[in-house]
Structure 1
Amino acid sequence: MAAIPPVCEFGWPAVDAILPGTDGNKHQLSDLAGPGGLVVAFICNHCPYVKAVIGRIVRDASDLRDNGIGFVAINSNDATSHPEDSFENMKRFAEKHRFSFPYLHDEDQSVARAYGAACTPDFFGFNADLKLQYRGRLDASRREEGPADLRRDLYEAMLQVARTGEGPREQIASIGCSIKWRDAA
Structure 2
Amino acid sequence: MKKLFVPLLAIAAFSAMAFTHYTIEPLAIGSSLPEANTKLTDVSGKEVTLAGSKKKNGLLVIFSCNTCPYVIKNQERNNEMCAYAEKNNIGVVIVNSNEAQRNDADSYDAMKKYAADQGYKWNYAVDKNSTLADAFGATKTPEIFLFNKDSKLVYHGAFDDSPSSPKDVSRKHLQVAIDEAVAGKEVSVKTSKSVGCGIKRVK
TM-score, structure 1 length as denominator? 0.87
Matched residue type, 2:202: R
> Any idea what SS the aligned residue of 2:111 has?
helix
SS at 1:89's partner residue?
Answer: helix
> Structure 2 matches for 1:107-118, cutoff 5 A?
107-118=128-139
Match of 2:150 in 1: 129
For the residue of structure 1 that corresponds to 2:166, the secondary structure is coil
Query: For residues 45 and 25 of structure 1, what CA distance do their matches in structure 2 show?
Result: 20
Equivalent position to 1:75, from 89, 92, 96: 96
1:131 CA drift (Å): 0.7
Q: Is the 8 A contact 2:154 2:190 kept in 1?
A: no
**2:30 aligns to what?**
11
For 1:89, the equivalent position in structure 2 comes to 110
Q: Distance in 2 between matches of 1:150 and 1:105?
A: 33
Q: Give the Cα–Cα distance (whole angstroms) in 2 for the partners of residues 158 and 82 of structure 1.
A: 35
- Cα 1:155–1:8 change in 2 (3 A) is farther
Segments of structure 2 that go 5 or more residues without pairing to the other structure are: 1-23
Bigger Cα Rg: 2
Aligned to 1:181: 201
Q: Which residue of 1 aligns with 2:180?
A: 160
Query: CA separation in 1, counterparts of 2:195 and 2:77?
Result: 15
Aligned residues: 178
Higher helix fraction (1 or 2): 2
Q: Please give the secondary structure, in 2, of the residue aligned with 1:51.
A: helix
User: CA contact under 8 A between 1:34 and 1:68: conserved in structure 2?
Assistant: yes
What is the one-letter code of the residue matched to 1:161? A
RMSD after superposition: 2.1
In the superposition, relative to structure 1, how do residues 48 and 6 fare at CA in structure 2: closer, same or farther (>3 Å)?
farther
Structure 1 segments of 4+ aligned residues over 6 angstroms from their partners: 5-8
**Matching of residue 172 in structure 1 with residue 192 in structure 2:** yes
Cα–Cα, structure 1 residues 46 and 167, in superposed 2: closer, same or farther, change >3 Å? same
Higher relative contact order (Cα pairs below 8 Å, separated by 6+ residues): 1
Structure 1: where are the runs of 5+ without partners? none
Report the TM-score, using the length of structure 2 for normalisation.
0.80
Kindly state the Cα deviation for residue 11 of structure 1 after the two structures are TM-superposed: 1.3
- What is the alpha-carbon distance in structure 1 between the residues aligned to residue 71 and residue 103 of structure 2? 15
Aligned to 2:5: none
Q: Indicate if the aligned counterparts of 1:65 and 1:71 stay in contact, CA closer than 8 A.
A: yes
